Each structure stands twice: as C-alpha cells, then as structure tokens.
C-alpha cells in the first residue's frame, strides 16, 4: 500500500472501488472501507469512480431496453418512449367558441358543469402524493 510514504492502490482495491461506485455507494463510505481519506480516494481512484458509475448506468439501460422491447413490460416501454422519444401525455382543453359575455345563463351553467367534469377526470388520472407513479402499466 505505502511505498516510500506514497499511497499505492492494489488491483483488488481498484475493483472494489469500481463496483461500489457502480452501486452508488457514497465516496466517503468507500474511503472509510479502504481506510483512506476521501481526497486520497478521489486522487488515486478517479478512473474507477467514474467507470463504475458509467458501467452501472449502461447495465441498467440495457436491462430497461430489453424490458421495453420484449413486449412484456408496458411501463418500461412507456418510460422509454417518454424519456428517449419525447412522447408525452396529451391533455386536451376545449374552450367555448362563444365569449362568456355573449352566453345565456344556461350556456354558462353548461360550461361550468363541463369544466367540473373535466377536472374530476384529470384529478382521478393524476397519482396522489402517496402513490408510486411507477406502479401499474
């Protein structure tokens, strides 16, 4: 490890740092495990820290792509299309062609009822704060 007072990482430590970085372990925790200062970790293991995170992202992307293209996971397919292809859910709002000042009371009441019904539909479609938007398809 130390050679003339200098820190020299081992191959096993390099592999450990790469794997832990890929798992998202904080650098301070990796440094604690190796019993070195976080600055020493960043100085001597920069490549492993960067590569581990990149390798993990690639692996997850491969898995997501496989799930999305298998035809077996609709949620993964929808996520892929929204994240990569710019797809979005479209909410259409229809406005009355007649200005409200020219409407009769009955027409205004009809517009208000339509707006309330649309609001109920949107409220039911939006996930509540305690729901996981990733659940379901």
What residues pair up with 3 in beta bridges, in sequence order?
A: 6
Q: How confident is the model at residue 94 (pLDDT cuts 50, 70, 90)?
A: low
Burial class (CB in 10 A: 0-12, 13-18, 19+), 85: exposed
pTM (predicted TM-score): 0.56
Cβ neighbors of 42 (< 8 A, separation 6 or more) are 27, 49
Q: How confident is the model at residue 98 (pLDDT cuts 50, 70, 90)?
A: confident
- Strands 2-3 vs 6-7: parallel, antiparallel or unpaired: antiparallel
CA dist 129 → 7, 82, 126, 133 (Å): 49, 21, 9, 9
């Amino acid at each position: 490890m130390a050679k003339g007072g200098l820190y020299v990482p081992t191959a096993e430590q390099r592999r450990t740092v790469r794997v832990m970085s890929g798992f998202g372990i904080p650098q301070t925790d990796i440094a604690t495990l190796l019993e070195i200062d976080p600055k020493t970790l960043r100085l001597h293991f920069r490549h492993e820290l960067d590569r581990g995170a990149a390798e993990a992202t690639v692996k997850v992307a491969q898995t997501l792509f496989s799930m999305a293209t298998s035809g077996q996971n609709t949620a993964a397919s929808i996520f892929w299309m929204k994240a990569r292809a710019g797809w979005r859910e479209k909410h259409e709002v229809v406005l009355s062609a007649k200005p409200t000042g020219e409407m009769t009371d009955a027409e205004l009441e009809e517009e208000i009822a339509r707006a309330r019904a649309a609001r109920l539909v949107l409220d039911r479609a939006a996930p509540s704060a305690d729901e996981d938007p990733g659940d379901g398809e």
